[in-house]
Every structure is written in structure tokens, then in C-alpha cells.
Structure 1
């Protein structure tokens, strides 16, 4: 039974671990900027703010990625998670330059979170249809979700 559980979540686990490594990278950037400057500089303020903003949205990202993966399909949810991490990296690096460079990453990240929330809602709705009416559309919805997840690559 453990194999079945792992088979249904291993992509989500991989994305989660990558996100943890990314958080460590962000923290190291903040620490490095803090150590290299005796006084608080605008560079430190920017990197610190970027880190704080990324950490503020992190629990939401994890929750919707896992819920989407468990309620509907792990592959599109994990794919969206990887894209979100790439976008978050772009946001962080953009914020270290000028804050206006981070705007595209921020907006793109919101779109990915919306996609994951939509996956959650569809998965829950399908579950309720199955429980109440015996109609299971999960295969159809998974196919549509897998195909539409590629649309996340469009900026």
C-alpha cells in the first residue's frame, strides 16, 4: 500500500523539496547581503523584501499544489509547481535589480496559483459528483488539465 501512496505523490514531493532548496537559496542571499554590508543598504532592503514576499505566498503555493495534485492529478499540479518556482526565481532576481523587473514574475505567479486553485475546485466537484450521482469524470478532466497545463508556459 505504501507504493501506491508514494506513486500518487512523488512528483509533488520532488517539487516540494526543490522549493525548500530555493527557500534556502533565498535565505543565503539575504544573509550574504546582510554580512557584506555593515549598514542597511537599498540592496539589502530589496533582497530582504523579495525574500519576505516569496515567503508570504509560499504556504498558499504549497497548499494549492498539494490539493490540486491529490484531488485531481499530480503531474499537471507538479508541472505548475515547477513553473511557479521558476517564476518565483525570476521574481526574486528581478526584485534584486529594480522592483519593476519583478512585476512580470509576480503576475505570472498569480496566474499559476489561480490554475492550481481551479484544479482543486474541479477535483473536489468531480469527487462530489461521483459520491452523490455516481458520475466520475476524472479521466476526462485529467486529460483536459494535462493539456491545458502547457498553456502555463505562455507569458
Structure 2
């Protein structure tokens, strides 16, 4: 039974651990900037890093919730793929915030799209479960096929 459970969540666990490592990286960048404060110019750099870190941490619980819900309720592979894309986009957002704040806008908008996709996966998985329970209809295979195909569309800018 343990192997079966691990097969169903292994990719989600990997994405979660990668996101934790990314959060540690962000925190270390903020700490490094904080310890090096000496001038007004460095102070604005710290404020930008701190703001970018706060913004990323504000969306982090939502990301974890929809990642796990989508992976468990529908299909773990597309959910993990979307999670990896979200982490790349969040890195782009964080780095973009270090320059001008307008450089972070594409990362922000792309991140919203990935979160929407994961949320949609959650809704489809929950609806399928309700249909199976109360109507006896199971559309999980069709939903998984569509989700796997649609997850590649996340790569489009």
C-alpha cells in the first residue's frame, strides 16, 4: 500500500521540496541584502527584495493547496508540470522585481495563469468525484487526457 500511495504523490512531493528550496533561496537573498545595508541605494534594493519575497510568500499557501488538490483529485503529472512552471515563473518574478518593477509584470501574469490552471484541475477533479459518487459516471480518464494535453499550453507566452 505504501508504494501505491508514494507512486500517486511522488511528483507532488518533489515539486513541494523544490518550492521550499526556492523559498530558502529567496530568504537568503533578503538576509544577504539586509546585512549589507550601508547606503540609501542599498536600502532601496533591500526594500525591493523584501517586497518581492513577501509577494511570493503571500501566494505560496494558495500554490501548495491547488497543487496538491489538483494532483490528488485529478492527475499528478500535469499538476507537477504546472508546479514546476510556476516555480520558474516565480523565480522570473523575483529576479524581475530586482530591476524595475515593470520587469516583474510578465512573471506575475504568467503565475496567475498557472494558478488558474491548477484551480481548474481541482474543480474538474472534484466534479468528477461528485459525478462518480452520485451519478455513477466517471469521466476521470477523459479529464486526465484533456489535462495532459492542456498542460503543454502553459508553455505559450
Fold-level match, TM-score > 0.5? yes
Displacement after TM superposition at 1:133 (Å) = 1.2
Q: Does 1:67 align with 2:32?
A: no
Partner of 1:8: 8
Q: Which structure 2 residues correspond to residues 59-138 of structure 1 after superposition, within 5 A?
A: 59-138=61-140
Q: Which residues of 2 match residues 33-48 of structure 1 at below 5 A?
A: 33-38=33-38, 41-48=43-50
Distance in 1 (CA, whole Å) between partners of 2:55 and 2:39 is 22
Give TM-score, length-normalised by structure 2.
Answer: 0.97
| Uncovered stretches (5+) of structure 1, i.e. residues with no partner | none
Give the C-alpha shift of residue 39 in structure 1. Answer: 5.4
Structure 1: distance between partners of 2:19 and 2:30: 17
Partner of 1:31: 31
Once superposed, which parts of structure 1, at least 4 consecutive aligned residues long, lie more than 4 Å away? none
Q: In 1, Cα distance between the equivalents of 2:107 and 2:19? A: 16
The structural deviation recorded for 1:134 is 1.0
Task: Please give the root-mean-square deviation of Cα atoms over the aligned residues, in Å.
Answer: 0.8
1:38 Cα deviation after fit: 3.4
- CA drift of 1:111 comes to 0.4
**Whole-Å Cα distance in 2 between the matches of residues 90 and 119 of structure 1?**
24
